[in-house]
Structure 1
């Protein structure tokens, strides 16, 4: 989500924040491919063709398209989406060059692989656990985990109802496994119950070790999101959007 702290004085996403999103997704795509420590070596020309405004969603995607002996080219895209109308526009596209040096006994990197489509009704997003999100144990702080899951629930409910949504309740949250600094986290969310004015969203939080590929479900939660009018009062949900329309 583009919040005011991410925007410039024009009310649009600050270019440096957009580049940070792209660099992060390029790193995650490259590190998952290499399963080695990976760093950014540089990026090719990136032109911003359209703005992302405050209150809009941005979707950053990355795909490994070129592999050398120790380097990878990751094609990245940044899309903006208006939450209520669903209107989408490509903000920028480019290529980041990533390097994963070989250690003793390691061979060259594997060639890029074709995407394996995931055929389910979960909406998925990924993040990286940096030190600013950890507690004194070096694991993801519970409050930040709740913030991420709440944001995932908001985006899922908004895309489902195409209405202004607010959080009405958190029914249950269970933490089952710690998430360590340097892990990738995947937020999977889906609507499980739809009422006249509300949508119940199930959110799962998965952790993945980037070097090992080991995955574990670390948390699960359920949120109730309510559609509201301009005065903040609950209003009926007029139209539901199918996953195929979102895609």
Structure 2
């Protein structure tokens, strides 16, 4: 296998979005440093594999600067970008940003450098080399939420396929983040209208949930969510599931509350009363 044309590879900048739950925090109510570091390493691995389309291992990490904490209830977003490529070594820069649901205040929590090493296998492994690193164009503004993860054995059944419940939970999380960012306040799940599964997802595959607000009422939001599966080494992608969720914005007493006035006009449905 020779050095591949960089135009053949999939977009390698990768984002992983999660939410800080109480089980992920210390007695101060802030995210454990080890948990944050593990998520940074995971997204670095996904970004490296998407870049090289071969198995990778983490060789080392450096300059892990913990600047500010992420607290319970914060949305945390990890962005991984390959910044230097050798023949089989790849340097990935990872940022971790925390975001409050109310007010959308964002701050960088952690930044670090991860050195990944490709370990190609099979025929042609001896001649494998990473593709040339080409600067990516700035992405177009997109209000949709995209979340990536890898399917691990504890998320799969005896046949090595991701549990349907795990897929639904992941789609619901993406819908929650999309609705929260749009509403600018806490939201709760009111209903799941329909979920259609098109194919199964195997252990080791990347799953990517994309969620967007499709309709807005007085205090309710309809969220359209699609779940993609992606083969880690070939980059082949498939639509795995689609779902529609209804979220309701609530106040501090958990009662339905009006959605902010500056909602995008194109998704506002005239006459919709909401919840």
Which TM-score band (shorter chain)? Answer: over 0.9
1:118 positional shift: 4.7
Distance 1:8 1:241, change over 3 A: farther
1:120 positional shift: 4.3
1:119 positional shift: 5.3
Q: Does 1:174 align with 2:205?
A: no
Task: Decide whether the 8 Å contact of 1:43 with 1:95 is kept in 2.
Answer: yes
Task: Decide whether the 8 Å contact of 1:162 with 1:239 is kept in 2.
Answer: no
Q: For the residues of structure 2 that align with 1:91 and 1:119, how far apart are their CA atoms?
A: 23
Q: For the residues of structure 1 that align with 2:120 and 2:179, how far apart are their CA atoms?
A: 44
- Provide the secondary structure at the position in 2 that maps to 1:45: strand
Q: What is the TM-score with the length of structure 2 in the denominator?
A: 0.85
Match of residue 237, structure 1, among 259, 265, 269: 259
Q: In structure 2, what is the equivalent of residue 245 of structure 1? A: none
Q: In structure 2, what is the equivalent of residue 142 of structure 1? A: 164
Give me the CA root mean square deviation.
1.3
Task: Decide whether the 8 Å contact of 1:160 with 1:240 is kept in 2.
Answer: no
Q: In structure 1, what is the equivalent of residue 106 of structure 2? A: 88
Is the radius of gyration larger for structure 1 or structure 2? 2
Q: What is the TM-score with the length of structure 1 in the denominator?
A: 0.94
Task: Decide whether the 8 Å contact of 1:138 with 1:181 is kept in 2.
Answer: yes
Match of residue 42, structure 1, among 60, 70, 88: 60
Task: Decide whether the 8 Å contact of 1:187 with 1:204 is kept in 2.
Answer: yes
C-alpha deviations, 1:124-172, integer Å up to 9, x for none? Answer: 1111111111111101101111111111110000000101100000000
Please list, as runs of the form range in 1=range in 2, the aligned pairs for 1:63-212 lying within 5 A after superposition. 63-103=81-121, 104-105=123-124, 106-116=127-137, 117-118=139-140, 120-212=142-234
Task: Decide whether the 8 Å contact of 1:140 with 1:181 is kept in 2.
Answer: yes
Distance 1:241 1:80, change over 3 A: farther
**Structure 1, gaps ≥5 residues long:** 243-247
C-alpha deviations, 1:189-211, integer Å up to 9, x for none? Answer: 00000000101000100000010
**Structure 2, gaps ≥5 residues long:** 1-18, 265-275
Task: Decide whether the 8 Å contact of 1:51 with 1:91 is kept in 2.
Answer: yes
